[in-house]
A and B are shown apart, each in its own frame.
Chain A
C-alpha cells in the first residue's frame, strides 16, 4: 500500500484494476489546510492520461509489475514474439507496445519484457545494440553535399545517419535511447 505522501513522479499505482504511472506531480497546501497532491497519471495499458488531486488520507495499491528477461524470436502479422529461455513460455506484443524498439529488434536479442499481473505490457531493450549495414551509398571522395554524414539502412530496416566513411557490411553500435550512431564495431 502507498500513502499520498509516497506519491512522486514515476511511481506506479493500481487504480480500478489498471496499472498507472505518475507522469507529473505537484504538492500544494493552502495555509493551514490539508495537503493536496496533484498528479497526472498515465494508464500503462492503453496510454490514456488523466489528472487527479489526492488528499493526505488517500491510499493506493501498488501495481504488480515485473520485468522478465526474454529473447526476441520473430514477427508475425504485426505481432512480436518473445520467449523465456528457462520456461520456453512465449508471449506476443503488438507494434504499439513495442514502439520504437522495433527499430533495433534483432532475432535472438535479449530484452526485458514488462508484465502486469502476468500480462505483457511493454519492452525495454539494451541501451546499445550492434547492427550490420545492409544498404549504403559508396563513399565518394570530395562529395560534401550532405556534410560529413550520409543515410544508411541497417539489417532491421532502420534508417540512420552515419559518418561518410562507414560502408555497407560494416557493423555499427547504435544508442537505442536516441536512435543515433555511436561508433563502428570490429568483430
Chain B
C-alpha cells in the first residue's frame, strides 16, 4: 500500500476519498450493488472520481473498499480493495504505460523484484508487456472472430475457457479494444467504431485491472446506461436510479482516462498466494 501511494504521490497525483454509500451506482448489466437503506454501497468509486475530474482535478487516485453482491470465488470477495486512478488529457495507452511502471516500481520497492513466479509460472515485469486486441486473441486462441462468440452469446464462456488461460504468461498482457457493447463507459475508437478504447490487464491468466479512455459525451452515456438498465430488467435484476448528477457533470469533464486495479489480486501476485482468501485477514465465512 505504501509503495502504491509513493508511486502516485511522486507523480503529482492527489489522493482522494469519496463516499462509499451513494444514491445511484453506474448501471452495469452484470455488476450488482448491495443496497444500504435506499442507497447503495459503491461497486467502484468511479462516479465521484469522474465528477472530481470534471471539477478540474487532473490527476487523482484512490484506494478504497468496494462492494459487489454475489461475487465470491478463489479470486473474488464481495468486499474487496480497489485502486483507481484518473488522468486528464490521457488515453488508454497512457494507462497501459502507467501499469508497466507501477508494477515494476511496487515489485522493486516491496522486495519482490522484477522477476516473479506466480503459482509456479515465471513472470517478468520488464516493459514493454504484450498487447493483443480482443479480436486477435479470440482468433488466435479460440479460432473464431470475437463477433462470432458475441453472436452466439458465448463471449464470457470462450474468454474464460480458451482466451484468459493463455494471457499474461512470461510477461503481463493487455487485452484491448473491446467490442462496443462490452464497454459501457469507454470511448468509441475513432479508427474502428465497432470497438471501445478499453483494456484489461492479465497476469498469469488472472485479470488484474480494467482501464479505458473515458466516454465524455453525456447523451451517448445516457443511452448506454439505459441499455444496461433495460438488460437488467430483461434478466430480472433489481434496478437502481439513473446517476443524474454524474451525467450533468460529464459535459464538463475533460478528455481523460481511468483505471481500476484489484489490489488484493496484486498482493496475491507479489506474495505468490493461490487464493484471495490468503491475502485478507478475514473472509466473509470467518465473520
Contact = CB atoms under 8 A, between A and B. Distances in A.
B72 A32 contact: no
Given A35-B30, A57-B235, A30 B72 contact: no
Contacts of A36: 156-157, 160
B28 A32 contact: yes
A31 B157 contact: no
Contacts of B31: 32
A32 B182 contact: yes
Nearest to A37: B73
B70 A32 contact: no
Contacts of B197: none
Contacts, number: 54
Contact of A33 (B73, B74, B159): B159
Nearest to A57: B235
Interface in A31-59: 31-36, 53, 56-57
Contact of A26 (B73, B155, B207, B236): B73
A34 B71 contact: no
B210 interface: yes
A30 B76 contact: no
A41 to B, nearest CB: 17
B72 A27 contact: yes
B164 interface: yes
B215 to A, nearest CB: 14
Contacts of A57: 235-236
A127 B225 CA distance: 57
A27 B76 contact: yes
B30 A26 contact: no
Contact of A34 (B29, B183, B210): B29
B200 interface: yes
Most B Cβ at <10 Å: residue of A26, A32, A34, A53: A32
B276 to A, nearest CB: 11
Contact of B156 (A26, A27, A30): A30
Interface in B226-244: 235-236
A157 B164 CA distance: 54
A34 B200 CA distance: 15
Contacts of A27: 71-74, 76
B70 A5 contact: yes
Interface string A15-33: 0000000000011111111
Given A30-B164, A31-B182, A32-B31, 20 more contacts: A26-B74, A27-B71, A27-B76, A28-B160, A29-B30, A29-B73, A30-B159, A30-B160, A30-B207, A31-B210, A32-B29, A32-B210, A33-B156, A33-B182, A34-B30, A35-B71, A36-B156, A36-B157, A53-B157, A56-B30
Interface of A: 5, 26-36, 53, 56-57
